[in-house]
Structure 1
Amino acid sequence: MVPSTRTPSVAIVGAGMSGLCMAIKLQQAGITDITIYEKADDVGGTWRDNTYPGLSCDIPSRFYQYTFAMKPDWSRFFSPGGEIHEYFSGVADTHGLRERIRFGTEVLGAEFVDDRWRVRTSDGRTSEVDFLISATGILHHPRYPDIEGLDSFGGAVFHSARWDHDVELAGKRVAVIGTGSTGVQIVCGLADTAGRVDMFQRSAQWIMPFPNQRYSRAAKAAHRRFPRLDELTYRTYMKTFEFFARALVKPGWRRRLIGAICRANLRTVRDPELRRALTPDYQPMCKRLVISSRFFRAIQQDNVELVTEGIDHVEPRGIVTADGVLHELDVIALATGFDAHAFMRPMNLTGRDGVTLEDAWQDGPRAHLTVALPGFPNFFMLMGPHSPVGNYSLTTIAENQAEHILGWIRRWQSDQFDSVAPTQQATDTFNAEMRAAMPDTVWATGCTSWYLGKDGNPELWPWTPDKHRHALAEPNLAEYDLRVGNRVATEPAVR
């Protein structure tokens, strides 16, 4: 590649895990004209917003971290949420990112004009950059249930991502609506402090038991003294996850083994009626697998009740279920998830020739190789549509995507093109290949989950994570519309 001759300006939307990763990768490459727009007042994204009792990551600590910022002294096998937020905050400080972040500033829209992105923000300002990168994440727009009378409840009501720590929970009657990972963690976090916990279940979940052990002083000291241990542990986890990831995308013994472990775990529930109520009617892993070694113990406590009757309405005293029973409550916690298909929306994007994001995504979010959109030159996404987010480390995915994006910016620096976007044909072919591969995945075996798009098909990477890494590392330049000004870049210029 020829030496760099141009200095790019880059705007990153979001100062969460992936946005910080992208900014650091750019800095390490010597690119310093970087602006990060963050609508909140701190870094950390989902780990900033979520602070509910029992919060932890469901990916091992030594795998859920950046390879360029290994932490030797994680407290547990699965890190608590506060510790993860401290980690990302510390990384931002170490790499001097806060001076590049415009906190309290939301990007309202952006338009591609004369080979540059014109960015409009909530403070009324407009700026122009060469590259626009969305790092808004996938779990940041809370989804609130449409329950009659919810606003009439006499106690406290809040979403899990908007937890109200001013509300006293000790000895109180708490309802948890939702049974996914968040609901399970909240029940485990409250079972020993709340007076009573009612968990309202619409569908049962498969639970994979995995003890969350504390790391010993000796283990932390060893990782501090021998940094290679961090690298070795990370690589071991990555290879292990990728080995068992075949269970998600292909039938076989791995899928049967994980299913057998989940079913054996379910048999630890002693009460046969409760066990039946907790038994899902779909295959393990069809929904995101819930990782917990405590939930089945918690749900069997005397002060914890599983409610399987549907919610009819809410009144000032509590929740009334379809059988007419009033469940009197002091607090209602909504563990009802997020709009996982919003991505960077409601930000308005207008690409080349006036095409808008709403036009491009009228049939649902689509992308090329999870990171780019036809008709939107010099625009990239981290954790974009079809990313391999099913029970895998998102930090690893973010690093792979950031390296891919950095590769394009480096090509731009060396004058290989002025603008780049995937072709519509390449994007259509990629999406057709994904649809063809999807029937083999466990997500297509028959369940309702946030993995499904508006057409009922899963919107995930239907192959193993290592295939995603290799595809991003070796892009086929023939699949891209590379232009110099308004001209298509000639073949010799692309090298």
Structure 2
Amino acid sequence: MPHVIDVAIVGAGFAGIGMATQLARRGRESFVVLERATGVGGTWRDNTYPGIACDIPAQLYSFSFRPPWEWETLYPRGAEIRRYLEQTVLDEGLTPHIRFGCELRNARWVDSTSRWEIATTAGSVHARVLVMAVGRLSDPHVPDIEGLESFTGTVVHTAQWRSDLLTGGERIGVVGTGASAVQVIPHLAADADELVVFSRTPPYVVPREDRRFTAEERARLAVPDHARAVREQMLVDADRAFRQRLGLQPDIDAIRDRALGHLRRQVAAPGLRAALTPDYEIGCKRILLSDDFYPALQRPNVVFEPTALDSVVECKARAVSGHTYDLDVLVMATGFEATRLPVAVRVQGRHGEVLSDHWSAGMVSFASTAVSGFPNMFVLDGPNAALGHNSAIYMIETQLGYVLGALDHMARNTFDAMEVTAAAEQAYTREIDQRSASTVWLTGCNSWYVDPRSGRLTLLWPGTAASFRERNGTFDPQPYLIESRPVDEGGRNP
């Protein structure tokens, strides 16, 4: 572990590896990547449950600044994405910069040195700039279920899957019907003696229509100019879906009809179809892609329980409906601590302010990247930096450009610290609130995109991917306070 560094990056998922790649190519700043696990990949390293895959096309779910990858299918599998990131580390020469098994214990801004003092499980480091790249899907969420600790079987979250968990013939309960659940349920149903699916709210599901690329397609996608053109067109096409999130017609009617038509075609039984019909506006929660979720629910060994899991007593799981089920395994497909990042309690800014306290009424920022009171710190894939309809990697790359612009500004002007003003952060927060007020996320239902305490949309950018880049893709020093420490007679900072 280096003692003093220019940039410390926390996290080795897409955002952290992207930041490290850009810094390595520049060759200007010294940097280190602090990763608590034993490998890179972030959520694609942690999630290994059966059926894990991306629901964004491969051409969009990859770095634009990396050579085209020979993706096997339209929607890449989790293991393939992990290999992509591992290969990026090798090709870009990042291995010497990554410290594995290095969990952040505390990061504290020190005014007297204008540095971040970072304590980890593998030692400490002082960094001029701190880049938080921990993402929103890194800490599993397990709901507070009465008696769960008394369960005599095995409880596992989808993000903590074990290859030796199932041998076949188990009685399995799956809690949740979100993105992970619709992928894992068809695979579990194939081998379970009985599978019970606890559903608090049924999802909207549209056809996935995945397929393998032909040899000809793969050859064409290996041509950089062609790959770039395909990617750009996909971005434009995906951005059109934002009109649905504004509730605009005929766009929202078309996507609703597509989802409900998919349900009608795949589920003939009126009772089950009614139980699987959402009672909220489409797009408010994540729209899921699957061709085999509905068929799996109609297998003779599968029970769809249209209420949430309420309590557990030893091997018996009781639903809100009052129905009880004897189970051997409980699979928690219950998402992540997305609106309340657990790592925020470990970051202390100016005057000892803790990031979790600064975000007590919901995550706030400026340009979705900088936080007032936390000098020389940038957050990737954090407040209002995600999308519900397009590529997260495009958003991350936009933020990378912003951070690189900030580093360039610091280098050109040789100052020690810069901090976005409270006024700029407040104005940006008002802008987010105004943009999101009329979207389905705040008018259609309650979802994990919305902070439960403040009722604010804190995870998603309430606009297109293109508008995010236009608004936040270029660093502007105007909203920042600049600080320089005095120099001694020899021209050095004391």
Q: TM-score, normalised by structure 2?
A: 0.92
CA distance in 2, matches of 1:406, 1:221: 33
CA distance in 2, matches of 1:362, 1:287: 23
User: Alpha-carbon deviation of 1:175?
Assistant: 1.1
SS at match of 1:130: strand
**8 A Cα contact 1:8 1:409, kept in partner:** no
User: Alpha-carbon deviation of 1:401?
Assistant: 0.4
**8 A Cα contact 1:245 1:465, kept in partner:** no
Distance change in 2, residues 1:16/1:164 (3 Å): same
Bigger Cα displacement from structure 2, 274-283 vs 243-252: 243-252
User: Alpha-carbon deviation of 1:317?
Assistant: 2.8
User: Alpha-carbon deviation of 1:8?
Assistant: 7.0
Alignment partner of 1:85 is 2:62: no
Alignment partner of 1:59 is 2:59: no
CA distance in 1, matches of 2:446, 2:389: 17
Alignment partner of 1:463 is 2:460: no
CA distance in 2, matches of 1:311, 1:129: 46
Correspondence for 2:23: 26
User: Alpha-carbon deviation of 1:323?
Assistant: 4.7
Bigger Cα displacement from structure 2, 188-197 vs 461-470: 188-197
**8 A Cα contact 2:198 2:319, kept in partner:** no
Correspondence for 2:491: none
**8 A Cα contact 1:388 1:465, kept in partner:** no
1:30-89: CA deviation from partner (whole Å, max 9, x where unpaired)? 235111000111000000100001111011111100112244421111111111111111
For residue 144 of structure 2, the aligned residue among 146, 159, 165 is 146
Correspondence for 1:479: 479
**8 A Cα contact 1:411 1:417, kept in partner:** no
**8 A Cα contact 1:54 1:190, kept in partner:** no
Correspondence for 1:233: 230
**8 A Cα contact 2:56 2:75, kept in partner:** yes
Correspondence for 1:411: 409
Bigger Cα displacement from structure 2, 246-255 vs 200-209: 246-255
**8 A Cα contact 1:107 1:347, kept in partner:** no
1:303-349: CA deviation from partner (whole Å, max 9, x where unpaired)? 22211144332233331234543312221111011110233625522
CA distance in 2, matches of 1:472, 1:324: 50
* Runs of 4+ residues deviating >3 angstroms: 322-325
For residue 33 of structure 2, the aligned residue among 33, 36, 42 is 36
CA distance in 2, matches of 1:332, 1:71: 40
CA distance in 2, matches of 1:150, 1:356: 32
Alignment partner of 1:339 is 2:333: no
Alignment partner of 1:259 is 2:256: yes
Correspondence for 2:156: 158
Q: How does 1:160-239 map to 2 (within 5 A)?
A: 160-224=158-222, 226-239=223-236
Is there any run of 5+ residues in structure 1 with no aligned partner, and where?
A: 1-6, 488-495
Q: Which amino acid aligns with 1:16?
A: G
SS at match of 2:211: coil
Q: How does 1:327-366 map to 2 (within 5 A)?
A: 327-343=325-341, 345-366=343-364
**8 A Cα contact 1:56 1:80, kept in partner:** yes
Distance change in 2, residues 1:254/1:31 (3 Å): farther
Correspondence for 1:116: 115
Q: Which amino acid aligns with 2:37?
A: A
CA distance in 1, matches of 2:475, 2:9: 22
User: Alpha-carbon deviation of 1:270?
Assistant: 0.5
Distance change in 2, residues 1:331/1:119 (3 Å): same
**8 A Cα contact 1:320 1:326, kept in partner:** yes
User: Alpha-carbon deviation of 1:477?
Assistant: 2.8
Alignment partner of 1:49 is 2:52: no
CA distance in 2, matches of 1:310, 1:335: 12
CA distance in 1, matches of 2:165, 2:319: 25
Distance change in 2, residues 1:404/1:304 (3 Å): same
Q: How does 1:90-105 map to 2 (within 5 A)?
A: 90-105=87-102
For residue 291 of structure 2, the aligned residue among 278, 288, 293 is 293
For residue 400 of structure 1, the aligned residue among 394, 398, 401 is 398
SS at match of 2:49: coil
Q: Which amino acid aligns with 2:92?
A: H
SS at match of 1:192: helix
CA distance in 1, matches of 2:419, 2:249: 38
Alignment partner of 1:390 is 2:388: yes
CA distance in 1, matches of 2:92, 2:138: 25
CA distance in 2, matches of 1:21, 1:439: 32
Distance change in 2, residues 1:406/1:476 (3 Å): closer
Q: Pairwise CA RMSD of aligned residues? A: 2.0
Distance change in 2, residues 1:70/1:237 (3 Å): farther
Q: How many residues matched?
A: 479
1:76-112: CA deviation from partner (whole Å, max 9, x where unpaired)? 1111111111111111111121211111011111222
Q: Which amino acid aligns with 1:200?
A: F
Q: TM-score, normalised by structure 1?
A: 0.92
- Asked which structure has the greater RCO (Cα within 8 Å, sep 6+), the reply is 1
Distance change in 2, residues 1:414/1:312 (3 Å): closer
CA distance in 2, matches of 1:152, 1:80: 35
Distance change in 2, residues 1:476/1:428 (3 Å): same
CA distance in 2, matches of 1:425, 1:44: 36
CA distance in 1, matches of 2:170, 2:232: 45
CA distance in 2, matches of 1:126, 1:330: 44
**8 A Cα contact 2:220 2:227, kept in partner:** no
Correspondence for 2:314: 316
**8 A Cα contact 2:145 2:311, kept in partner:** yes
Distance change in 2, residues 1:437/1:472 (3 Å): closer
Q: Which amino acid aligns with 2:162?
A: D
Bigger Cα displacement from structure 2, 134-143 vs 264-273: 264-273
User: Alpha-carbon deviation of 1:438?
Assistant: 1.5
CA distance in 1, matches of 2:128, 2:27: 16
